[in-house]
Structure 1
Amino acid sequence: MIIGIGGVSRSGKSTLANLLVTYFRKNGKKAIIFHQDDFVFPETQIPKIKNKTDWESPQSIDFEQYKEVIELFKTRFDVVIAEGLFAFYDDSINQLYDRKFHVKISKRTFLIRRAMDIRWGYEPTWFIDHVWLSFLKYGKPRKDLKGIVNVSGEDEFDMDKVIKSLDSPRIA
């Protein structure tokens, strides 16, 4: 099974991926997570916005390598979980997913969580707005993409709902 998890920055994608990999491993499955952030191009190849590296652009991700790794590891693991801001951007990768989860949070929650995240130091307000707008433009699942299960990242995940959706028939 290949699972895609998408959502805006700080929505809980990695948390959901970790909960799922733990669930599968406890149930005797070999499971692995791939984070889209591990497939970014070298910084010199990533577009800039106002002299700041635009990590929020799909042009920052090596989708070809990301897809190759997913396809390779689906032969070695029972469950492959691929998560990232642009999880639903590339159609050839969308076709690989057996299940798709979109982690939704409000803009207010995004702003609060992003303000608390100090990994990159001070981020100007315009850039934080850019992150949100880039998600709306490139990361939000298109309406024609079938089989998306929306889960709330506002509080704890409703894992009963998530697990139940894993048993439902695949929608391409």
Structure 2
Amino acid sequence: MAFIIGIGGASRSGKSTLAQRLKEELAPNRVFSLDMDEYVFDEKDIPHIKGHPDWEVPESIDYKWVEHTIRENKSKYDVIIVEGILAFANASLNAQYDLTVFMEISKKTYFERRRLETRWGKDPEWYLEYVWEAHLKYGQYPEADFILSGESTLKDADLAPIIQKIRATHP
């Protein structure tokens, strides 16, 4: 059975970077990384705010599909990493995590990084503020096993206690 890790935090906090680093560090274990951005409902099926798709609310994620994917892969992989801004917004999913990591960044850093984001074009300032507020409402997870700073580049020392705990509980 796979060891399941949940990684959450604000947009641009370093969740995907952490997931990739863990995948590298855990080799030669078989690691499946699940990016929740791939599990959103079709744009027409999610809430909208001021004409924009609202990717920032739990109703935008197909959690049944996420859980189905985890079930399908539990016996195929040693470790499953689930990462996303709404990784901790669903109680059923939270109950499956063996270990949780919350990536913490300041509002200032979030705004600096999001203003540089160009994948979806330039977002209006009101939307950037909305995304931050949604993170505060849906994305927090004070019960996380580890809270890491996403303010700067992850160091090996940041990863060491996480890797140690994974190996101690799931050799």
Residue among 19, 28, 34 paired with 2:21:
19
In structure 1, the gaps of 5 or more residues are none
Superposed, 1:114-153 pairs within 5 Å as: 114-141=114-141, 143=142, 145=143, 147-153=144-150
Residue among 157, 160, 171 paired with 1:160:
157
Residue among 3, 8, 11 paired with 1:9:
11
In structure 2, the gaps of 5 or more residues are none
Cα shift at 1:120:
1.2
Cα shift at 1:92:
1.1
Give the TM-score normalised by the residue count of structure 2: 0.91
* In 2, Cα distance between equivalents of 1:11 and 1:43: 24
Q: Is the 8 A contact 1:99 1:166 kept in 2?
A: no
The root-mean-square deviation of aligned C-alpha atoms, in Å, is: 1.4
* Amino acid paired to 1:148: D
* In 1, Cα distance between equivalents of 2:12 and 2:30: 27
Q: Please say if 1:77 is aligned against 2:111.
A: no
Cα shift at 1:70:
1.2
Q: Is the 8 A contact 2:58 2:86 kept in 1?
A: yes
The percentage of counterpart residues that share the same residue type is 39
* Amino acid paired to 2:152: D
* In 1, Cα distance between equivalents of 2:53 and 2:156: 35
Farther off after superposition, 67-76 or 56-65: 67-76
Q: Is the 8 A contact 1:54 1:60 kept in 2?
A: yes
Cα shift at 1:134:
0.3
Q: Is the 8 A contact 2:25 2:163 kept in 1?
A: no
Residues matched between the structures, number: 165
Give the TM-score normalised by the residue count of structure 1: 0.91
Which residue number in structure 1 is paired with residue 37 of structure 2? 37
Cα shift at 1:163:
2.8
Which residue number in structure 1 is paired with residue 106 of structure 2? 106
* In 2, Cα distance between equivalents of 1:24 and 1:148: 18
* Amino acid paired to 2:95: Q
Cα shift at 1:156:
1.3
* In 2, Cα distance between equivalents of 1:66 and 1:158: 29
* In 1, Cα distance between equivalents of 2:35 and 2:113: 19
* In 1, Cα distance between equivalents of 2:162 and 2:79: 15
* Amino acid paired to 2:22: L
Cα shift at 1:158:
3.3
SS at 1:3's partner residue?
A: strand
* In 2, Cα distance between equivalents of 1:35 and 1:18: 11
* Amino acid paired to 1:24: L
CA offsets per residue over residues 15-55 of structure 1, 9 Å max, x none?
Answer: 00000001112xx2011100001000011001010111111
Cα shift at 1:167:
3.1
Q: Is the 8 A contact 2:58 2:90 kept in 1?
A: no
